[in-house]
Chains A and B, each alone.
Chain A
Amino acid sequence: MAELIVYGLVLGSIISLGAIGLTLVYGIIRFANFAHGDFLSAGAYIALFLVTGLLAWIGVPDNTFGAISIGWRMLIAFPVSMLIVGCVAIVLDRTLYRKLRLKRSGPVIFAMSSLGAAFILRMIIYILWGADSLFYRPGVLRPAILLPLGIKIRPDQILIVLVVCLLISSLHLFLQRTKMGKAMRATADNMELARVSGIDTERIIIWTWGIGGALAAAGGILYGIDVQLQPDMGWKFLIPLFAATILGGIGNMYGALVGGLVIGVVQQVSTAFLLPTYKPAVAFMVMIIILLIRPKGIFGGKKE
């Protein structure tokens, strides 16, 4: 059981990365982006292209660092992929969602459009990489470290949690300390007042999409390192992402962080009683229960 909880925290930290992006975007433009899961896949596959394609081709060495399964190639591919997916998110907003905003489209139109965007992203991945599961480093199984309580954990999993901690602390500092970060929070609070204060809210929206996309890409890559890459991985993440977001209170970044960890742990622990294939169903159940008993989430979210 202790081991399942630890694995749950690893999975949960990845869910948190996606959920934070989802909740930031919701906080600013009040819209649930169903394409967010596929930002995770896009990030994972762009990193795959860089690691096994481009960076291999230009001759970046293939060796790995110590006990972990990543090396120079991934070290470069990771931030580059985050950057690219951040740009993809921004382009999607500029070419699609912004047009709908200007037309004052209803929530159903936004939902269907983002669902469409999700399909397009996923199909592009199917076309380029096929339907098989892929790995960043095929056939390499690193030995696990034995922790107290009989917990076996791979060095990669420790690395994943550390990377998530680093990204989330950076985001926290950005939001709390920098002028741009504070303006982002102000815009999420009250967009009209932000405009009245001289904040260019369109620029804030661009930043928000960029950060959301980049964090999702990071989550996708980390999942790829931990497990494997599948074209529908992001799609499968969508329900846990929404469950985590709702659990933490929609629009609340710190809630999404905790929500992600809770959903991760609940999903992993459920495998002690249920088949692992039921994991998304477990997340869905948690989401429904929260919506029924505490729709504003455990920490309370943004008021509509």
Chain B
Amino acid sequence: MTILSAQDITAGYTAVNILHGVNLRLESGEIASIIGPNGAGKSTLLKTIFGILVPRQGKVILKDEDITGLRPDKVARKGISYVPQVSNVFPSLTIQENLEMGAFIRTDDYSQRLQEVYDLFPVLRGRKKDRSGQLSGGQRQMVAMGRALMVDPDVLLLDEPSAGLAPLLVADIFEKIREINATGVSMIIVEQNAREALKMAHHGFVLAMGRNVLDDKGKALLANEEIGRLYLGG
């Protein structure tokens, strides 16, 4: 079952379009990875799905509902969460407060969920009262993902979760992503680290110059020689 789809998206920040009729489909429970060179429009696509950017053309359908052009604070209420690549925590707020802000739209008791997030990232539990601005890159990424998970989303959008992290931490973060997916959260991941991103993806989408180049099963893309040569570094 398709849980989210972007259909024929054309969008840009200025008069110049970055995306030219891009399509993307996410099946329920799966991971879809978007790979492609810098400037391909990968992050722009995520922003358009979440309503930060309003597309000039095309539709975003979440669970059979058209959410195209809905304001981000409304989109957040539809069971979908987004972790931006940079500035993805509230630096002057404590870790606990960051997670509380993640649960801002919840009116029920979310203490259970809070514990689950701390269980997923145990290192955060001991630093609850620390300001997230003081954290290392890896821990910041955990806070950012934790914040997004507080609403118990059906769909999680991750923009370059491994960017700027030490190699050891990258493996850690990818492991966490697999764990989160195993709990039933469908995900769209944008990654520079294309090989790793395709390894964990059920489906991969290759973008270049704001257009779809190819999409296939993650494993099939990994095995594709041309993709390997062009986008996976040989």
Q: Which residues of A contact B (CB under 8 A)?
A: 179, 182-183, 185-186, 188-190, 192-201
Label chain A's interface by main secondary structure: helix
Select which of A182, A190, A198 is within 8 A of B77 by beta carbon: A198
- Tell me if B90 and A186 are in contact (CB < 8 A): yes
The interface centre, meaning the residue of A185, A190, A200 with most chain B CB atoms within 10 A of its CB, is A190
A-B contact pairs, 22 of them (CB 8 A): A183-B104, A185-B93, A189-B90, A189-B92, A189-B93, A190-B87, A192-B52, A192-B72, A193-B84, A193-B87, A193-B88, A193-B89, A194-B90, A195-B52, A195-B72, A195-B73, A196-B76, A197-B104, A198-B76, A198-B77, A198-B105, A198-B151
User: Contacts A185-B93, A186-B90: A195 and B101 contacting too (C-beta < 8 A)?
Assistant: no
User: Contacts A185-B92, A186-B90: A199 and B104 contacting too (C-beta < 8 A)?
Assistant: yes
Q: Tell me which residues across on chain B come within 8 A of A186, comparing CB atoms.
A: 90, 93, 97, 101
- Tell me if A197 and B76 are in contact (CB < 8 A): yes
Min Cβ gap A59→B in Å is 45
Min Cβ gap B74→A in Å is 8
Min Cβ gap A179→B in Å is 7
- Apart from A192-B87, A196-B82, what are 12 other A-B pairs with CB-CB below 8 Å? A182-B101, A188-B92, A189-B91, A189-B93, A193-B89, A194-B101, A196-B72, A197-B104, A198-B73, A198-B104, A198-B105, A199-B101
User: Contacts A198-B73, A198-B104: A192 and B84 contacting too (C-beta < 8 A)?
Assistant: yes
Cα A186 to Cα B73 with chains together (Å)? 14
The count of A-to-B residue pairs whose CB atoms sit within 8 angstroms is 66
Q: Tell me which residues across on chain B come within 8 A of A196, comparing CB atoms.
A: 50, 52, 72-73, 76, 82, 84
Cα A108 to Cα B88 with chains together (Å)? 30
CB of B211 within 8 Å of the partner chain? no
Q: Tell me which residues across on chain A come within 8 A of B88, comparing CB atoms.
A: 193
Select which of B73, B90, B100 is within 8 A of A200 by beta carbon: B73
- Chain B residue, CB-CB nearest to A201: B73
Residues in B88-137 with C-beta less than 8 Å from chain A: 88-93, 97, 100-102, 104-105
Q: Tell me which residues across on chain B come within 8 A of A192, comparing CB atoms.
A: 52, 72, 84, 87
Cα A194 to Cα B82 with chains together (Å)? 11
Min Cβ gap B151→A in Å is 8
The interface centre, meaning the residue of A179, A193, A195, A196 with most chain B CB atoms within 10 A of its CB, is A196
Cα A183 to Cα B100 with chains together (Å)? 9
CB of B147 within 8 Å of the partner chain? yes
Min Cβ gap B142→A in Å is 15
- Tell me if A182 and B100 are in contact (CB < 8 A): yes
CB of B56 within 8 Å of the partner chain? no
Q: Tell me which residues across on chain A come within 8 A of B50, comparing CB atoms.
A: 196
Q: Tell me which residues across on chain A come within 8 A of B89, comparing CB atoms.
A: 190, 193
Cα A25 to Cα B76 with chains together (Å)? 25
Q: Tell me which residues across on chain B come within 8 A of A194, comparing CB atoms.
A: 90, 101
